[in-house]
Each structure stands twice: as C-alpha cells, then as structure tokens.
Structure 1
C-alpha cells in the first residue's frame, strides 16, 4: 500500500498536481496538507490532519464505482474524517472556486455528515448528493 501511495505521489494526475500546488507547504491559510495518504486499506488524495478533512479529486471512473466510493467514504468517516469531493474538470477549470470551497470546509466548526460532492457548475452550484 505504501509503495502504491509513493508511486501516486510521483505521478499525479493533472488535476492533483494543480491542486497540490495550492495546498502544499501551508499555502492555504497555514493549513498543512499531505497527499496520497494511506488510511486503513485506502489512499486519500489530500488530507489536512489538523482539520480531519480529506479532499478527493475524482476522474470519470468514479461515476461508475459509486458503491465502492460509498464504502470507502463510510470507512473514512468512521475514522473521524470529513470528506469532500471534486471532479477533475472542476479543479482544472475552476481551481479558485475549489480552493474557496476547501477553505470554507477547513474553517467550518461542525463536522460534515459523510462525503459531499461539490458541484461548482453555474447550474448546480452547491452540494450534490452525499449521505445526510
């Protein structure tokens, strides 16, 4: 598992590399993130340990693996994390909006229920799906 996480850090997707350039080294209001972190049998894309927040960047394959993602999210939430998700194209096309949403969730006092897919499209801005 650790070897796979190392490999994923060395070869990030375009969206992961773009977001990492904004999150690394405490660049987001001093919040420190780690990338490709193993938690149990899963690898989380970005983790802010102090806020117990996981940021997942999903490609198109995630549209077809909803059951796996729900199980994965349930495990991560059970470990005390909040999970937010963005699509690759949202990071690539609206990175400033993604950063703003992440910052909002870093400063929210109450924990989020489960994983939320954030949609930044003008037609569907806000939370879409996710358990309540």
Structure 2
C-alpha cells in the first residue's frame, strides 16, 4: 500500500488534481471527516495501488467512497476485491444519501468506525 513516503510523483499530482476538482457534495463529506471530527484522521484521494480512495483512515484501514451516477458496479467490485485483499474495509455512500441527509451519513460513518474499533478490541 502506498503511504505518504512511497507514492510516486504522478500519484501525488493526480491526488492533488482530484482534491482540487472535488464536487460540492464530496467537499461536504470532507468537512465532516476532516480535523479528526470522527476521532480518527482521514486523507482525501489517497492512492492505493492503481486506485485513489475518496476518503481513507489509515489507522483503521477504512475507506469511505462516494458513489455517483458515474460509478460502474463491475469496476467497483474489482476495486473492492483489490482493497479487501489488503485488509481495507470500504463503505460506499450514494451521492443521493448525502444530498438527502449529511447528518445521517455522518452518523453511519461514526457507527462503522465504532464497529471497527470494537472488532480491533
């Protein structure tokens, strides 16, 4: 898994471009996840292999992915399998859920973080 010391310059450029082109919806989620508001640190557009994770918590190996209309279920399944092989759990959230209730999405993420912490015990 790439960390901040092993990513390539191209991955760094791509991650930066993805962060700068984030949608308003993605930015709303970032405002909820940033500054350790969930009790853990998240990174935006974190590279893992050939993929970039929308939001990633390295200490829990937990990714939050925002799924809009552009997501291909077959590609997502391959991606999820790749990440799962590396011990990374993924929570997929449709854009429509964020637009309906950001607070409900935040609560769902908080609950998942607690479950992961309990499993790690």
Same-fold status (TM-score > 0.5):
yes
Q: What band does the TM-score fall into relative to the shorter chain?
A: 0.7 to 0.9
Aligned match of 2:97 = 90
Q: TM-score, normalised by structure 1?
A: 0.77
Aligned match of 2:54 = 45
Q: Give the number of aligned pairs.
A: 108
**Counterpart mapping for 1:97-116 below 5 A:** 97-108=104-115, 109-110=118-119
State the alpha-carbon separation in 2 of the partners of residues 15 and 74 from structure 1: 26
Runs of 4+ residues over 6 Å off in structure 1: none
State the alpha-carbon separation in 1 of the partners of residues 108 and 34 from structure 2: 16
Q: Which has the higher strand share?
A: 1
Q: TM-score, normalised by structure 2?
A: 0.84
After TM superposition, give the deviation of residue 110 of structure 1 in Å: 3.4
Gaps of 5+ in 2: 1-10
Show CA shifts across 1:50-101 (max 9, x none).
1111000011011xx1111100000011111100101112112211111111
Contact (CA 8 Å) 1:59, 1:87: kept in 2 or not?
yes
Aligned match of 2:4 = none
* Pairing 1:55–2:64 present: yes
State the alpha-carbon separation in 1 of the partners of residues 32 and 44 from structure 2: 12
